Structure 1
Amino acid sequence: MAIYSILVLTGQSSATLLGRLYFEKGGKSKYMAALVQSAGFPILIPLLYITSRSKNKPTQPENLALPALYICFGTFLAFDCMLYAIGLMHLPVSTYSLLCASQLGFNALFSCILNSQKLTSFIVNSIFLLTVSTILLISQPGPPGAGAGAGTGGKFALGFICTLTGAALYAFLLSLEQLAYGKVLKGKTVNEILNVIFYESLVTSCVLLVGLFGSGEWRGLKDEMEGFELGRKMYVMVLVFGAFSWQVFGVGMVSLILKVSCLFGNVISTLNVGVVPILGVVVFKDSMSGLKVVALVLAVWGFLSFVYQQYVDEVKSRAENKRYFRQPFDVSNSLLFTIYHNQTEN
């Protein structure tokens, strides 16, 4: 789990900063920024080849439900990528990251409905604190979103709404994926995890490419590259490394969803709420107003509240397992005894 958690943290933080850098230095295409979030899937091909040839890989019958899930979730993800791209286009990276932290609260709610997650007092407290943190961000005095490269007025409001909606929809998507793939994928092997990421990203990229060419934004990409402040090579590198970072994040997140739960994956993802805003202040000179600091503290408090609940659940689970294994073995309840007893009666 530690490796997957590191993949989520490093991939998400670096991808977010590179995405803001793209807009900061002259990038203008929303579809390109969204496409970067899924277009790195070809790097998974060597890993897919290696894991598919593993001798320990269990053979499973073809499941026709998987292609349908890939298409549905991939299309859904394309829309969500657009919302995040618009949000990052108009918001300082610090505000954007704090809004993304609300995803944990949304996920707790959807996990309760779809994944039978219990809403304890600590989880409710976490949702409340993240909600208050979001309200504080939108009530900042003066020009909202003041900071390098950020939009103001109507653009800030658009970015705010798109990011918040994207966080809610992504939380809903994660809960759906846990529910659907949990029933379809029995082994949850590395190969299955990579297949989920690869085919979902393929569908997402195809949908966004249709949007890129259909909207006509592709015509401005050459001028955008020529006018990029850091040069043409850096333009390509920002997009390539951004795509790579998003795939690293995807591998870690889907692994945590299938191995543990979507809620746990979101907890790890929310750790970035204390890292990315600080990096945004250092790298992009984002303003860190008093209200934004309070929002950051509340978001971290909400995260810690949720983590404590996970710790309590883990301790309780271990205690129950110890009591179970300490119980004396009842022969009359064993399968072998039942078979033997039935045969002697016959």
Structure 2
Amino acid sequence: MEPTSSINSPGNDQPHLSIPIKIDQNTLHPQENHSSSSSSSQETPPISSLVISNKHSNAYYFPLLLINFLFLFVGSVSSSLLSKYYFNHKGSSIWVSTWVQSAGFPLLFPPIFLPFYLFKTTQRKPFSHFTPRIFTLSIVIGLLLGLNNLLFSLGNSYLPVSTSSLLLSSQLAFTLILSVIIVKQKITFSNLNCVVLLVTSSFLLALGSNHDKPEDLTKTNYFLGFVSTVGAGLLFALYLPVMEKIYREVYCYAMVVEMQVVMEVAATVLATIGMAVEGGFSDMRKESLKAFDKGPAGYWISVFSNVVTWQLCFVGTAGMVFMTTSLTGGICMTALMAVNVLGGVVVYGDKFGGVKAVSTVLTLWGFSSYVYGMYIKTSTDPEETDHHTINNNHHSSPDHHHGHHDHNNVAQGMEMVPIYGNA
């Protein structure tokens, strides 16, 4: 293993943020002898994998991971409460609630374009290294994300925040199952224990929370909200491992943000069609002037705040999945469900009886079980924690199509990759 390569050296096409990595020369040059290593222009064989080691020494990894978690934390809690605020104060359009979840994608343009065109802090042109496959997958997943947003809006319009938040915690069980199928996630005792506890929590909630529905809510609408929320959890659970698999082909963290723009454009197109068919755009004006009991200013502040917080939530989720795993991202979201429950109780006065208390305890128990399992695994198998081999067969850098890689291009192509193994 040679000394850490500098990815930020002059002349490299670097992304917005980079992580120093150590490259195993036996992997890079399995047939190259010592005499040929002096030539920097010599072609190298195709790369099958890179070994990233000593992740704790990476200068950018943990700060960026923390930033993404903060985005997820603030976005998840705020978007849930603000969505409920919209419905609590006489907002009634399901399509408006759906549209604001993805319509904020232009907010991602400054961090994408300014570093290259204005600040000149990167030589990587935005949206470079996009393949037709990644572009197509981003559109398809964006449409599924739009459907997920619609289901979430339906559930959030009918159910109290605490109930919908606890129901959404069941997505972790779906995430584990789908991760096993899609990304070959290993099943451990802590994983299985977490699933059992969360499923039990959801069943208890389903059996015992019918009494806390609003007085003017029919049983049919309550059932629709319940089913829609579970469906949203299932779709999002599918989204997480699918994105983990796709991110293995992604060039850098900047590309994750760019993919997020494409996905949210697709989701916004779907929501805009629904808005146009159902008259949602004219409803926004009518709601702001006549229906919303906080007045026009309160209405538009609510809508814009929803747009911003949903962007934080989705970008934070994408970053967590890219930098860790889909299951870890799901775990973090589940942990925030308890905060959403408390937020609903504190801000909106949702009832918090014995059934919800037991459900919350089971949810936190399941999360703690998973965290403890991760701790045990990293304590007993530090080698797996410090060294993670990442398959690079499908990276689509220009040199790959010619059957060879320049040493610097290889290092640059693996910047900002996920470096945690399965937990």
How well do the aligned residues superpose, as a CA RMSD in angstroms? 2.1
2:374 is the alignment partner of 1:310:
yes
On the 8 A contact 1:225/1:235 being kept in 2, the answer is yes
On the 8 A contact 2:138/2:262 being kept in 1, the answer is yes
* 2:42 alignment counterpart: none
User: Which of 153, 156, 169 is matched with 2:222 structurally?
Assistant: 156
* 1:195 alignment counterpart: 258
On the 8 A contact 2:378/2:384 being kept in 1, the answer is no
2:354 is the alignment partner of 1:295:
no
1:151 aligns to what SS in structure 2? coil
By how many angstroms is 1:265 displaced?
A: 1.1
The alpha-carbon distance between structure 1 residues 197 and 135, as it changes in their structure 2 partners (threshold 3 A), is: same
Q: How many residues align?
A: 319
On the 8 A contact 1:145/1:152 being kept in 2, the answer is no
By how many angstroms is 1:285 displaced?
A: 1.0
Question: Distance in 2 between the 1:311 and 1:218 partners?
Answer: 50
Question: Distance in 2 between the 1:113 and 1:220 partners?
Answer: 43
**Paired residue type of 1:104:** L
The structure where helix makes up a greater share of residues is 1
By how many angstroms is 1:292 displaced?
A: 1.1
User: Which of 70, 74, 79 is matched with 1:15 structurally?
Assistant: 79
2:208 aligns to what SS in structure 1? coil
**Paired residue type of 1:145:** D
**1:194-217 residue CA offsets vs partner (Å, 9 max, x unmatched):** 101111111110111011111233
Alignment of 1:228-243 (within 5 A): 228-243=292-307
On the 8 A contact 1:144/1:152 being kept in 2, the answer is no
1:144 aligns to what SS in structure 2? helix
On the 8 A contact 1:102/1:167 being kept in 2, the answer is yes
On the 8 A contact 1:7/1:252 being kept in 2, the answer is yes
2:207 is the alignment partner of 1:165:
no
**1:257-300 residue CA offsets vs partner (Å, 9 max, x unmatched):** 11111111111111212211111111111111111111111111
Question: Distance in 2 between the 1:58 and 1:206 partners?
Answer: 26
2:311 is the alignment partner of 1:247:
yes
Structure 2: where are the runs of 5+ without partners? Answer: 1-64, 389-423
* 2:241 alignment counterpart: 175
On the 8 A contact 1:188/1:258 being kept in 2, the answer is no
**1:163-207 residue CA offsets vs partner (Å, 9 max, x unmatched):** 011101111011111112323x1x322x21210111111111011
By how many angstroms is 1:317 displaced?
A: 4.2
Q: Which moved more, 1:201-210 or 1:63-72?
A: 63-72
The alpha-carbon distance between structure 1 residues 109 and 322, as it changes in their structure 2 partners (threshold 3 A), is: closer
Structure 1: where are the runs of 5+ without partners? Answer: 325-346
Question: Distance in 1 between the 2:387 and 2:74 partners?
Answer: 39
Alignment of 1:1-346 (within 5 A): 1-52=65-116, 53-55=120-122, 57=124, 61-140=129-208, 143-146=210-213, 151-183=217-249, 185=250, 187-189=251-253, 191-226=254-289, 227-320=291-384
By how many angstroms is 1:315 displaced?
A: 2.7
**How does the TM-score come out when normalised to structure 2?**
0.71
Question: Distance in 1 between the 2:212 and 2:269 partners?
Answer: 33
2:288 aligns to what SS in structure 1? helix
Percent sequence identity over aligned pairs: 28
Question: Distance in 2 between the 1:164 and 1:294 partners?
Answer: 19
By how many angstroms is 1:62 displaced?
A: 4.4
On the 8 A contact 1:138/1:144 being kept in 2, the answer is no
Question: Distance in 2 between the 1:244 and 1:214 partners?
Answer: 25
* 1:327 alignment counterpart: none
Q: Which consecutive aligned stretches of 4+ in structure 1 deviate over 6 angstroms post-superposition?
A: 321-324
By how many angstroms is 1:11 displaced?
A: 0.7
2:151 aligns to what SS in structure 1? helix
Question: Distance in 2 between the 1:281 and 1:229 partners?
Answer: 22
By how many angstroms is 1:56 displaced?
A: 5.6
Question: Distance in 2 between the 1:260 and 1:7 partners?
Answer: 15
1:39 aligns to what SS in structure 2? coil
On the 8 A contact 1:91/1:150 being kept in 2, the answer is no
**1:219-254 residue CA offsets vs partner (Å, 9 max, x unmatched):** 433221122111111111111111100111111111
The alpha-carbon distance between structure 1 residues 220 and 88, as it changes in their structure 2 partners (threshold 3 A), is: same
**1:150-172 residue CA offsets vs partner (Å, 9 max, x unmatched):** 83422111111100111011110
On the 8 A contact 2:378/2:385 being kept in 1, the answer is no
By how many angstroms is 1:98 displaced?
A: 0.5
The alpha-carbon distance between structure 1 residues 218 and 321, as it changes in their structure 2 partners (threshold 3 A), is: closer
1:287 aligns to what SS in structure 2? coil
**How does the TM-score come out when normalised to structure 1?**
0.87
**Paired residue type of 1:160:** F
**1:30-49 residue CA offsets vs partner (Å, 9 max, x unmatched):** 11101111111111111111
1:275 aligns to what SS in structure 2? helix
